[in-house]
Amino acid sequence: MGSRRRPWATAPFILVAAAIVAASSCAHGASAAAPPAAASPTFGDNFEITGAEDHVNTSADGQTWYLSLDKKTGVGFQTKQRYLFGWFSMKLKLAGNDSAGVVTAYYMCSDVDAAPQRDELDFEFLGNRTGQPYIMQTNVYHNGVGGREMRHSLWFDPTADFHTYSILWNAKTIVFFVDKVPIRVYPNAAAGKPGGGGGFFPSSKPMYVFSSIWNADDWCTRGGLDKTDWTKAPFVSSYSGFTADACTWPPANATASPPACAAATADSWWDQPPAWALDDAQRQDNAWVARNLVIYDYCDDRKRYPAPPEECALRNAAS
């Protein structure tokens, strides 16, 4: 069971961000430092490799993994555990230089084989030509259906250093964070309805945490116009600092009953009101992101959605 501390608690970011824009410089988000962990498991304790093991390198202390993509193949990893609700955080440093066509994905999914009825929460980082910024895409899938894409630019160079990308997931809301800045809020449109069901929201399927690096030059950069330059390979993304303060689910092949933390008992911090909505400082940060960093928002795309999906109005009311 998770602790009662809110792991995303942060100092106000908006004033620092405004100064960043005015100075046209790159910096980290101004977030409160997390308390040091008592003991850090290695990546191998939490994850298993999916794909070509010779495309994964590990630091001497086991705390950092390096995934590489070449013309032959990419690679990925997934958690050994499944989770339902909680806080999930990873530090990533993306492939630098000319990364057009390259996608680095960090996501949660209910199935290991992209099953047609899967639930999924996505961070995808879309590479670009040298000198052009990465684009960050987030998406939500429910019962195999996505179409909830948002795209953001970032206020720093994600290839220069590690930055923290996190997901808060509970029965009321999903929030995507970058360096503890809430860049996207996805509310459960059915949460206030009798029975709490029927909305486009993943709430019942435990998920693994995945990451991968792969070639997607058929769509990734400028709609597929810019192809991967394989003379720049290998492309390497780096990972460290994984945290899951969450409800751990029994293995997929186990017959055990769901854990007590899966019930809405308010015993876990994610089942308590502070985890259901942004606080005042976070709302300011999220509003700054909406004004300055949003490139695409499915809620505003009338060609795809003549009537905005139900959660769009709730998101606007909450932010």
What residues are labeled active site? 120, 124
Contact 177, 166 (CB under 8 A): yes
Contact 311, 186 (CB under 8 A): yes
The beta strands (E) that lie in 146-216 are given as 150-152, 163-169, 173-178, 181-187, 208-215
DSSP 226: S
C-alpha dihedral (146, 144, 252, 270), degrees to nearest 10: 40
- ∠ CA 86-14-10, rounded to 5°: 35
Which residue type, as a one-letter code, is found at position 15? L
Question: What are 309-312's contacts with CB under 8 Å, separation 24+?
Answer: 309/148, 309/189, 309/200, 310/189, 310/199, 310/200, 311/186, 311/187, 311/188, 311/189, 311/199, 311/200, 311/201
Contact 11, 32 (CB under 8 A): yes
* HEC-encoded secondary structure of 67-133: EEECCCCCEEEEECCEEEEEEEEEEEECCCCCCCCEEEEEEEECCCCCCCCCCEEEEEEECCCCCCC
Contact 173, 277 (CB under 8 A): yes
Q: 106 to each of 138, 190, 288, how far by Cα in Å?
A: 10, 27, 24
CA distance 4 to 130: 44
Contact 208, 82 (CB under 8 A): yes
